[in-house]
Chains A and B, each alone.
Chain A
Amino acid sequence: MNRKIGLAALAAMLTAFAVAGGAATAPGQTTSLTVYSGRDEALVKPIMDRFTRETGIELRVRYASSTSLATALVEEGRRSPADVYWSQEPGTLGLVAARGLLRRLPQKTVGKVPSRFSTPSRRWVGTSARSRVLVYNTEALADRELPASIWGLTNVRWKGKIGIAPTNASFQAFLGATIHLYGENRVRTWLRGLQANDVKFYPNNTTVVQAVGRGDVQVGLVNHYYLYNVLADNPGLPIRNQWFRAGDPGNLVLAAGVGVVASSSKVGAAQRFVDFLHSRWAQRFIARGPGAAEYPLIKGVARRPGLPALATIKGPPYKLGRLSADIAPAVRLLLELGYLR
């Protein structure tokens, strides 16, 4: 008797689960978009939710690293279920675009942002800008002790005190740009020097900034806005961002960007999503939402108070459109030297 009830309950559960699973994978009656998001769920979920509320378009979002999503798009080719690819980083977008997997965007869309945050072929467009910085622990260091350039980090003075996130797409983009500007040999030597300095690896920018805050390491190479994200949870942490001297590759300004997948049959809805990311609300959220501090790209939306103006950040002379060619050598180098393993 008991066994029969148990079996019945199991059968009921299995059925319910199968139905729920079916519902989750079946195309909905309402319009729905599949978004591949290299941007972190914790950061962008409110934007996704708001889009659905405003437009009635359901979103199915695959959150993963920007690099693995680019790999997936290439692997899937024309069979990709994705409609939109929102990446942390222009190199991955450019790489997917170079294989003909992104649609050309309207001039109107690309014209909304400064020209350095898109390319002439209009396959992707920036949604926010960010700068590479050195985050440091203010209890351990005074700002005059900090290196003027990334090249100074191989000095033995920094042994055991540097944290990086080698799997992070922005770190890889920074490295790709540096390879382009200074040559692979110089970068290889620098990376070997960091290894000789016992550089510590973390899974992502957030954990680098946290480690600097705890004092596990004294400095970290990250994107500028993670500082604000970590401080929002723990305002007392002794951490601050510092830029290197003018023109240093460590000051590279990057962009998060978005593209519409070429095989998508929902171009209209996908375009609405892209437009939404450029809306005042979304731009303000990216710039000044809770724990957010990226640079907005649309005129009339102000950056977070306390941030230097984007124009005052003296990055290296480098065009973001080049990254699609430069990021792969960077990844190869990281694999070769054991940074990725």
Chain B
Amino acid sequence: MSARAATAASSPGRRAPLVLTGAAVAVGAAALLPIAYLVVRAVQTDAEARALVPFATTLELVVDTAILAGGVVAAALVVGVPYAWLVVRTDLPGRRFWGLAASLPLVIPSFVAALALLGALAPRGLVQQALEPLGVTSLPEVTGYWGAVLALTLSTYPYVFLLAAAGLRSVDPSSEEAARGLGAGRVAVFLRVTLPSLRPSLAAATLLVALYVLSDFGAVSLMGYSTLTTAIYVRYESLLALDSAAILALVLVVLAVVVVVLASRLRVRGAIYRATPGAGRTVETVRLGRWRWPALAFCSLVSGTFLALPLAVLVWWSVTADPITGRAEIAWDAAVNSAASAAVAAAVAALVVLPAALLAWRYPSRLARLLERVTLFPSALPGIAVALALVFFGSRAGGFLYQSLALLLAAYVLRFMPYALASTRASLESISPRLEEAAISLGRRPLGATTAVVLPLARSGILAGAALVFLSTVKELPATLLLRPIGFETLATEIWKGTAIGAYSAVAPSALLLIAIASPLVYLLSWRNAWELGAAD
């Protein structure tokens, strides 16, 4: 992505400070810890444990997980790309509003999405009740595969939207103009020039969405669709089946790595590059004319289903009492725990990735590149696999770490620090090394120059990375379920516990609170950063 910039910033003559290298190596080693523990555990299993993961069952789970990922990727692309095109390239009325509406579902955790969609679309749910006067007595059920696709599309299409929008903005207008000049129609230009040049963005989006689906636990559980993550959890909850859980977790990790490899090939093949740097030139806006009505209908349908409807369900539940499970309550303690643990995880993650980021930017070497990759690796690790590995680690290490808050926070940091690294790295790219050199020539020591000059300039990227970690942590469910210390509940676990006893409406206020805590963060996540997140696999 940035080989040129990296070379410009590098200073081959200087060696990296030992502190920096040491810290980066330590963080990189920590990033590999979960996978190491899983491998060790899975290798040590006996025949009895392996009998609990019959080949046919495993294959079925892999296939079911893969077709879910495929379905969600397809649905998210179908929804997200046209939406982005309408917002970025046309004169759609209210584009700013639609842009915000399309990105906001980012703050809805997948299990809350599933909960709300179930409440809205279930056989006797809100939508059917609302349509009752019109003679609608039954709706098709939204559980199982299609239910999971719907809930996960809600949670993931904003990534496609944001990445596609960023891609559409940076497309070289001259290619399209040339195609038009050669007589191609609008549709042909879109299909044969615009879409192919979006390829890197869409490959990045595909990767993000696929990894999201592989690691999702909450939505698939609520929708009653079995995937590898639910199978791992069932074995964790089951009697003496931890070894078989470790085997399945390893299978899941392998599947995720396969997805990463496939996506990186997708990105390289047949990419269309800019012919010119093309700074500042904007693309011609497409006038929709009377097509703006179907366009508005499309945006309304998408944001109505994926934003307004779930929020309406949650608000409705919050103000009414369910006849079966009783009145709604807010878990304030859990809200404090959610916000505070996410803040700590975000701060720590932003801090621990700095050595690797600085090393890769200022002192590029084979080791620096390796450390960067290793630190990015956990982004492909499903949360439940990380959590299971830390359960093994914790019960072996024993002592103060076991069932401690520290271990849960470590899981958050390990799992989400790649976001912080990607964002920090990207913001460093734009900083001239001359500034730091100037500081050093004025008598600063290298590390002092970095803290005094470079970090303040990279602040926006560091903050955006931390914001992403915060957002992801607040929404996290499986690792929290497995690792939370005694008596420590977050909003996510409170909501989960409520759904387990069928008290859907009782958890609605907590779900709204969770969304409220997360939503300001969307402001911090500029569209540029979403692109960088996707670009850094």
Contact = CB atoms under 8 A, between A and B. Distances in A.
B379 interface: no
B241 interface: yes
B487 A60 contact: yes
Contacts of A76: 395, 398, 402
Contacts of B344: 14, 17-18
Contact of A201 (B224, B241, B404): B224
A327 B240 CA distance: 11
A331 B238 contact: yes
Contacts of A186: none
B325 A233 contact: yes
Contacts of A68: 236-238
B234 interface: yes
Contact of A60 (B343, B347, B486): B486
A24 B405 contact: yes
A201 B244 CA distance: 22
B52 A25 contact: no
A70 interface: yes
17 contacts: A13-B340, A14-B343, A14-B347, A21-B406, A25-B400, A25-B404, A41-B497, A61-B486, A62-B486, A64-B237, A68-B238, A204-B500, A214-B124, A233-B325, A331-B241, A335-B57, A336-B57
A297 B524 CA distance: 60
Given A14-B347, A233-B324, A203 B500 contact: yes
B234 A340 contact: yes
A332 interface: yes
Interface in B236-294: 236-242, 244
Given A79-B402, A213-B324, A234-B324, A341 B226 contact: yes
B54 A336 contact: yes
A251 to B, nearest CB: 23
Interface of A: 10, 13-14, 16-18, 21, 24-25, 34, 40-42, 60-62, 64-65, 67-68, 70-72, 74-76, 79, 81, 92, 95, 167, 172, 201, 203-204, 206-207, 210, 213-214, 216, 230, 233-234, 237, 327-328, 331-332, 335-336, 338, 340-341
A64 B233 CA distance: 13
B138 to A, nearest CB: 13
A81 B241 contact: no
A12 to B, nearest CB: 11
B485 interface: yes
A71 B502 contact: no
B502 A210 contact: yes
Contacts of B395: 72, 75-76, 79
Interface of B: 51-52, 54, 57, 61, 123-124, 224, 226, 230-231, 234-242, 244, 323-326, 340-341, 343-344, 347, 391, 395, 398-400, 402-406, 485-488, 497, 500-502
Contacts of A328: 239-240
A116 to B, nearest CB: 23
Contacts, number: 121
Contacts of A341: 57, 61, 226, 230-231, 234
A140 B404 CA distance: 50
B251 to A, nearest CB: 13
Given A16-B340, A24-B487, A233-B325, 6 more contacts: A14-B343, A18-B344, A64-B237, A75-B395, A167-B237, A207-B502
A76 B235 CA distance: 17
Contact of B51 (A25, A40, A61, A332): A332
Contacts of B398: 76, 79
A206 B502 contact: yes
Given A25-B400, A25-B404, A95 B240 contact: yes
Contacts of A21: 405-406
Contacts of A41: 497
A204 B404 CA distance: 28
A95 B324 contact: no
A40 to B, nearest CB: 8
Given A71-B242, A95-B240, A332 B52 contact: yes
B238 A335 contact: yes
A49 to B, nearest CB: 13
A336 B240 CA distance: 15
A199 to B, nearest CB: 13
Q: Report the 6 A-B pairs with minimum CB-CB distance, sorted nearest first.
A: A79-B398, A17-B340, A21-B405, A67-B239, A207-B502, A68-B237
A17 B244 CA distance: 36
A335 B402 CA distance: 29
Contacts of A206: 501-502
B486 A34 contact: yes
A306 B57 CA distance: 45
A24 B488 contact: yes
A60 B485 CA distance: 10
B324 A331 contact: no
Given A234-B324, A341-B234, A331 B402 contact: no
Given A17-B344, A62-B486, A206-B502, A70 B239 contact: yes
B57 A214 contact: no
Contacts of A207: 500-502
Nearest to B227: A341
Interface centre among B234, B240, B323 (most CB of A within 10 A): B240
A203 B498 CA distance: 12
A95 B502 contact: no
B487 A71 contact: no
Contacts of A61: 486-487
Nearest to A233: B326
B67 to A, nearest CB: 16
Contacts of B340: 13-14, 16-17
A248 to B, nearest CB: 25
Contact of A71 (B230, B241, B488): B241
Contacts of A75: 242, 391, 395
B323 A331 contact: no
Contacts of A65: 237
A172 B500 CA distance: 18
Nearest to B224: A201
A234 B238 CA distance: 31
B71 to A, nearest CB: 19
Contacts of B242: 71, 75
Contacts of B234: 167, 340-341
A74 B240 contact: yes
A92 B239 CA distance: 8
Given A14-B344, A24-B487, A81 B240 contact: no
B347 to A, nearest CB: 7
